[in-house]
Amino acid sequence: MLSARSLFQEILDHDESFRLFCSIAAGGEAQGGWENSRIAALVPPGERELAPRIARHGADEDKHGRIFNALMKKRGLEPVEVPPDTDYTMLLERHGIGLAHDRLKDDRPLTVQDIVTYLAHSRVTEQRASEQMELLRRHFADDPDIGRAVRMISADEDNHLAYCHEELLRFAYAGHGRAIQRTLRECALAEIRVYRDVSLAVMNHMGRILDWPKAKSAVLAAGIHALYAYERLVGWRRMVSLTMPERRGALNGPPTTAPEFA
């Protein structure tokens, strides 16, 4: 029977597919770490109190990248080059979502609108990350090899999502509500397209590595297209709603460390 658990288990059990999975994840987390560190350095003067939380977000992303690299090292594997069609972060940038890297390489301070754009982009992508890690946590939280990493990263992603909700609501109360809703919708609709394309690309690469029969690949592709159709119709709305999280100040304080991995 084809299930999320059996699919992930197959990928995790094979060295080459596991190496590709971890390399893609590590690359995305490292890119997110760089982006957040640059944004923290360029926060406009009137929002400097936000800088430590953005830096904490970036430090968490860097930690996740180290964890994925450590999981590979534990199995004697080296990272592989991430195929361009699986590079979620860079594909989002090419679709104009978030802050362009050229802007982040500039030393000019960001504007408040730039910060709102960053937070809206993060709210959408952290929704996806939180859901993906929740799926892995549900099936692999007790796995002796990856369980601890899954639990740690999942908890961090939940904190990141809570932080985005709280900060966006703060900006909404300050008069940026209309811009926030417009940016959230644009980000969500672009993200679901990129996620579909990346998912299809990852499945194609995994299929070649694991020698999946055409019927299996076709079923998986149909499932990805069905998910996109649902998200395009109504599912994107979960990415644009804002509610005050139960846990306030989720990114206050220093980042947690992971010495057992890195």
- pLDDT for res 257: 67
Please name which of 205, 187, 183 lies closest in space to residue 126, comparing C-alpha atoms.
187
Question: 157-170 pLDDT, tens per residue?
Answer: 999 999 999 999 99
The answer to whether 242 and 172 have CB atoms below 8 angstroms apart is: yes
Question: 91-113 pLDDT, tens per residue?
Answer: 999 988 889 999 999 999 999 99
With 0-12 / 13-18 / 19 or more C-beta atoms within 10 angstroms meaning exposed / middle / buried, residue 95 is middle
Q: Which amino acid is at 29?
A: E
Average pLDDT, the chain: 94
CA dist 162 to 18, 20, 59, 177, 202, Å?
30, 30, 16, 18, 28
Please report where in the chains the tokens 């057992």 appear, as a residue: 260
Question: 31-85 pLDDT, tens per residue?
Answer: 999 999 999 999 999 999 999 999 999 999 999 999 999 999 999 999 999 999 9
Please name which of 244, 49, 40 lies closest in space to residue 162, comparing C-alpha atoms.
244
User: How far apart, in whole angstroms, are the C-alpha atoms of residue 200 and residue 220?
Assistant: 8
- Sorting pLDDT into bands at 50, 70 and 90, what band is 203? very high
Q: Classify domain 4-239 at the CATH class level.
A: mainly alpha
Q: CB-based contacts of 161: which residues, under 8 Å, 6+ apart?
A: 123, 126, 127, 129, 130, 245
Q: Where are the beta strands (DSSP E) in the chain?
A: none
Question: 168-183 pLDDT, tens per residue?
Answer: 999 999 999 999 999 9
- pLDDT for res 262: 46
Q: Which residues of 213-234 are buried (b: 16+ CB within 10 A; e: fewer)?
A: eeeebeebeeebeeebeebeee
CA dist 124 to 44, 55, 96, 145, 174, Å?
23, 19, 14, 30, 21
User: How far apart, in whole angstroms, are the C-alpha atoms of residue 88 and residue 69?
Assistant: 18
With 0-12 / 13-18 / 19 or more C-beta atoms within 10 angstroms meaning exposed / middle / buried, residue 112 is middle
Indicate the domain borders of the chain.
Answer: 4-239
Looking at the predicted structure, is the pLDDT value of residue 259 above 70?
no
Residues in the chain: 262
